[in-house]
């Protein structure tokens, strides 16, 4: 069944505009003219996600949709994209979102990329729910099998009860001859016990005697008090007495409870108690039929946990998708800000006050860019420049930096195992992660303490460390002697924006960033802690069989000066395009600006003087990477530079050069120079002077 977005936007051209944006992004949609049509589409599974405007519902229509939402199956939590008006009533919008349930609010006007990202996130969440549906159906089938098995057991119990009634009628006669157990009772799989009003065993079949001995270490003896038999275990004696007291008082009931010595085994049992009467109908005791139902309860628990896990996975996937989309838009906003500040800093370098203000704004922009990187790291969508490195060399090189960062009140002890294998990771990101963990550890030791960084090789077996496959790993542990964390805090520690620090003292993204880096590198972040015992934050990275690269590897800088050239600049974000053009003009280049890939191809077809193409990656209609491929079909030797704030894009071997947003003029100039460093269009400064 295809996944579609059901659209209900009756006002103006909203529906057509939204459908056009989704269609260009390759997302299937279904436009509905009325709420009734939308509900019919949901009921017929022709739409898996709905996108509605806040003005689309009258009260009766909203009640009809609420009726559908109320009767969703347990696995379903319909994703709703709610388009609100800027300046609308926040309380009404919030109440509408609360009524609709699993709702993402998008304020109009919005970026097409934000809408597409939210729609894909919602469709992916719905797909996860469909997977949950299939798993739940499989588990439900198993549950039905268990129900049928229980029915068979009940039928067996019913037959056994009939036999026991016959046994009861013959009990007085059998008791005088010491024939306590009938053959049929002795050979059944059920655990059968019979006791008089003083808790003395009158009969115990072999299966019950074996099980009692296995879980309590004492074998029942006919004529012995069951309470005396386990007198040395008061807790278990009280539990046995409590349940038998009800039966011996005349109550007939079925109950599930856990019994057994923890040092031996504890199991869950379904116990059915009935009253034992003599031939005159007088109550003389009670008897029980017991079945071990531990596995059945575990199956039920696994079913419930599977439902909870699938729901949680859907929520985390949605959060990760939204985080990546917001970070992409934020990078586009930061690019013109950083570019403008960079140009202003050169023009006003002689004015101390203006220079100070520009420097402060630039520092704030860089902090914002760092925050975006942490968001992307949490969402596991940041671009990593991975290399095979020697972790020991990296940590040794950071020793002084770590000590200076946390202060002299906490001494740093670095322990590195000999012959440590290399690991593949982005060394810059790993340095940030280790420094982040060290600062967190120092914050947990405000009164002083000790910090140990332990790097060692580890071999992990299958299922031994959560989140890791079997294999060889490098474990980098940052261990402090601080306050530690309780289980509830550990469980939430890597959640984005969760922090135990005071207001203004932490973003709550540090551990999320470290976890995202480790997971994206094929490893995991493991926290081991308890209150008052300190914390060990462990980064596990897969060991590499390749030879480690030197850490101080630097790209060679340009050795020649670039001449003035004509550059085609392509970006559908006007602010970003204008800021980039200003940087290029400042460098002395001629710039042709276009707002789409289609216009860029038309320009290339008519202009032979274009010597370089600089294009954004994520654009409506055609991505920058495809534009470069098309351009090189026209002009195979045409240099190209791809600029991107899109988190998922990563450089591929043989692919176009890449520059991440936000960037400064120096970054842009360096990338252009690298493209032309070995090209025929490079001219030496002397040649430029001759021209």
For residues 534-547, give the mean pLDDT.
87
Q: Which two tokens stand for residue 395?
A: 């940590």
Degrees to nearest 5, angle at CA 114 with 113 and 119: 100
Instruction: Report the CATH number that the domain containing residue 444 is assigned in CATH.
Output: 3.30.565.10
Rounded distance between C-alpha atoms, residue 337 and residue 576, angstroms: 9
Local confidence band at 107 (pLDDT 50, 70, 90 cut-offs): confident
Is the predicted pLDDT of residue 181 greater than 80, yes or no? Answer: no
What is the pLDDT, as a whole number, of residue 481? 86
Domain count, the chain: 4
Statement to judge: residues 407 and 527 lie in one domain = yes
Residue linked to tokens 């970054």: 667
Statement to judge: residues 178 and 124 lie in one domain = no
In a domain, 114, yes or no: yes
The total number of residues shown for the chain amounts to 691
In a domain, 352, yes or no: no
Determine the structural domain holding residue 662 and report its residue range.
566-690
Statement to judge: residues 475 and 405 lie in one domain = yes
Statement to judge: residues 538 and 393 lie in one domain = yes
Is the predicted pLDDT of residue 555 greater than 60, yes or no? Answer: no
In a domain, 299, yes or no: no
Q: Higher pLDDT residue, 605 or 384?
A: 605
Q: How far is CA 539 from CA 324, 415, 420, 533, in A?
A: 23, 15, 15, 19
Rounded distance between C-alpha atoms, residue 536 and residue 559, angstroms: 47
Instruction: Report the CATH number that the domain containing residue 609 is assigned in CATH.
Output: 3.40.50.2300
Rounded distance between C-alpha atoms, residue 627 and residue 620, angstroms: 12
In a domain, 332, yes or no: no
How buried is 555 (Cβ within 10 angstroms: 0-12 exposed, 13-18 middle, 19+ buried)? exposed
For residues 267-294, give the mean pLDDT.
92
Paired with 659 in beta bridges are: 643
Statement to judge: residues 125 and 192 lie in one domain = no
> Which helix (H) or strand (E) covers residue 443, if one does?
helix 427-443
| Average confidence score pLDDT of the chain | 80
Rounded distance between C-alpha atoms, residue 520 and residue 393, angstroms: 22
Q: Which tens digit of pLDDT belongs to each residue from 239-257?
A: 999 999 999 999 999 999 8
Scanning 249-351, the segments in alpha helix (DSSP H) are 294-347
Local confidence band at 354 (pLDDT 50, 70, 90 cut-offs): confident
Q: Higher pLDDT residue, 75 or 689?
A: 75
What is the pLDDT, as a whole number, of residue 283? 93
End of a domain among 76, 101, 130? 130
Q: Which tens digit of pLDDT belongs to each residue from 471-491?
A: 899 999 999 888 888 887 777
Q: Which two tokens stand for residue 486?
A: 């309780």
Q: What are phi and psi for residue 618, nearest 5 degrees?
A: -100, 105
Statement to judge: residues 204 and 117 lie in one domain = no
Statement to judge: residues 523 and 641 lie in one domain = no
- Give Cβ neighbours of residue 44 (< 8 Å, ≥ 6 apart): none
Q: Per mean pLDDT, which of 44-53, 150-159, 232-241 is the most reliable?
A: 232-241
In a domain, 503, yes or no: yes
Statement to judge: residues 43 and 86 lie in one domain = yes
Statement to judge: residues 392 and 528 lie in one domain = yes
End of a domain among 130, 155, 187? 130
What is the pLDDT, as a whole number, of residue 650? 47
What is the pLDDT, as a whole number, of residue 312? 58
Statement to judge: residues 611 and 529 lie in one domain = no
Percent of the chain with pLDDT over 90: 20
For residues 591-603, give the mean pLDDT.
94
Local confidence band at 507 (pLDDT 50, 70, 90 cut-offs): very low
Rounded distance between C-alpha atoms, residue 456 and residue 458, angstroms: 7
Instruction: Report the CATH number that the domain containing residue 284 is assigned in CATH.
Output: 3.30.450.20
For residues 602-610, give the mean pLDDT.
92
| CB-CB contact of 212 with 219 (8 Å) | yes
What is the pLDDT, as a whole number, of residue 662? 84
In a domain, 112, yes or no: yes
Local confidence band at 324 (pLDDT 50, 70, 90 cut-offs): low
Q: What are phi and psi for residue 117, nearest 5 degrees?
A: -60, -45
The two beta strands, 471-480 and 423-425, are unpaired
End of a domain among 292, 318, 344? 292
Statement to judge: residues 472 and 504 lie in one domain = yes
In a domain, 48, yes or no: yes
Statement to judge: residues 535 and 570 lie in one domain = no
In a domain, 305, yes or no: no
Rounded distance between C-alpha atoms, residue 465 and residue 460, angstroms: 7
């Amino acid at each position: 069944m295809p996944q579609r977005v059901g659209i209900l936007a009756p006002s103006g051209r909203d529906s057509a505009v939204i459908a056009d944006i989704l269609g260009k992004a390759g997302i299937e949609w279904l436009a509905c003219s009325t709420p009734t049509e939308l509900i019919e589409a949901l009921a017929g599974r022709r739409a898996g996600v709905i996108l509605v405007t806040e003005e689309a519902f009258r009260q009766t229509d909203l009640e009809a949709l609420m009726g559908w939402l109320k009767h969703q199956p347990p696995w379903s939590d319909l994703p709703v994209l709610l388009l609100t008006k800027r300046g609308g009533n926040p309380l009404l919008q919030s109440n509408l979102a609360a009524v609709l349930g699993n709702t993402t609010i998008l304020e109009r006007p919005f970026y097409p990329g934000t809408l597409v990202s939210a729609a894909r996130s919602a469709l992916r969440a719905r797909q996860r729910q469909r997977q949950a549906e299939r798993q739940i159906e499989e588990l439900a089938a198993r549950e039905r099998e268990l129900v049928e098995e229980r029915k068979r057991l009940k039928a067996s119990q019913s037959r056994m009860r009939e036999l026991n009634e016959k046994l009861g009628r013959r009990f007085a006669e059998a008791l005088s001859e010491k024939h306590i157990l009938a053959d049929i009772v002795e050979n059944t799989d059920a655990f059968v016990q019979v006791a008089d009003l003083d808790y003395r065993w009158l009969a115990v079949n072999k299966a019950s005697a074996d099980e009692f001995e296995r879980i309590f270490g004492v074998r029942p003896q006919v004529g012995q008090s069951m309470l005396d038999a386990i007198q040395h275990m008061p807790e278990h004696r009280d539990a046995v007495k409590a349940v038998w007291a009800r039966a011996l008082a005349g109550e007939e009931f079925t109950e599930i409870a856990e019994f057994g010595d923890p040092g031996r085994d504890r199991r869950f049992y379904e116990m059915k108690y009935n009253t034992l009467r003599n031939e005159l109908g007088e109550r003389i005791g009670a008897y029980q039929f017991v079945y071990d139902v531990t596995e059945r309860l575990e199956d039920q628990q696994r079913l419930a946990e599977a439902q909870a896990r699938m729901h949680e996975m859907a929520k985390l996937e949605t959060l990760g998708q939204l985080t990546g989309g917001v970070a992409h838009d934020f990078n586009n906003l930061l690019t013109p800000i950083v570019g403008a500040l960079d140009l202003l800093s050169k023009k006003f370098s002689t004015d101390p006050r203006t220079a100070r203000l520009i420097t402060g704004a630039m520092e704030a922009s860089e902090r914002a860019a760092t925050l975006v990187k942490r968001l992307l790291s949490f969402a596991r969508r940041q671009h990593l420049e991975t290399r095979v490195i020697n972790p020991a060399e990296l940590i040794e090189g950071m020793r002084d930096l770590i000590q200076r960062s946390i202060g002299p009140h906490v001494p740093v002890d670095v322990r590195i195992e000999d012959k440590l294998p290399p690991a593949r990771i982005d060394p810059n990101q790993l340095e940030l992660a280790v420094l982040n963990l060290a600062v967190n550890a120092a914050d947990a030791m405000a009164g002083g303490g000790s910090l140990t960084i332990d790097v060692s090789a580890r071999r992990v077996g299958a299922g031994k460390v959560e989140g890791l496959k079997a294999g060889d790993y490098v474990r980098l542990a940052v261990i402090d002697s601080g306050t530690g964390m309780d289980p509830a805090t550990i469980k939430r520690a890597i959640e984005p924006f969760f922090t135990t620090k005071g207001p203004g003292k932490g973003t709550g993204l540090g551990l999320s960033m470290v976890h995202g880096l480790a997971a994206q590198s094929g490893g995991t972040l493991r926290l081991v802690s308890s209150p008052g015992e300190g914390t060990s934050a462990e980064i596990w990275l897969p060991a590499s069989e390749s030879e480690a690269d030197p850490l101080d590897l630097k790209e060679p800088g340009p050795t020649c000066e670039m001449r003035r050239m004509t550059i085609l600049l392509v970006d559908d974000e006007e602010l970003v395009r204008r800021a980039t053009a200003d940087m290029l003009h400042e460098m002395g280049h001629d710039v042709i600006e276009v707002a789409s890939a289609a216009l860029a191809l038309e320009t290339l077809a008519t202009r032979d003087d274009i010597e370089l193409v600089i294009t954004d990656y994520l654009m409506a209609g055609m991505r920058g990477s495809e534009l470069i491929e098309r351009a090189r079909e026209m002009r195979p030797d045409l240099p190209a530079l791809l600029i991107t704030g899109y988190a998922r894009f990563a450089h591929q071997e043989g692919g176009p050069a890449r520059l991440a947003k936000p960037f400064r003029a120096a970054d842009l100039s360096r990338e252009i120079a690298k493209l032309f460093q070995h090209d025929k269009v490079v001219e030496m400064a002397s040649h430029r002077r001759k021209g």
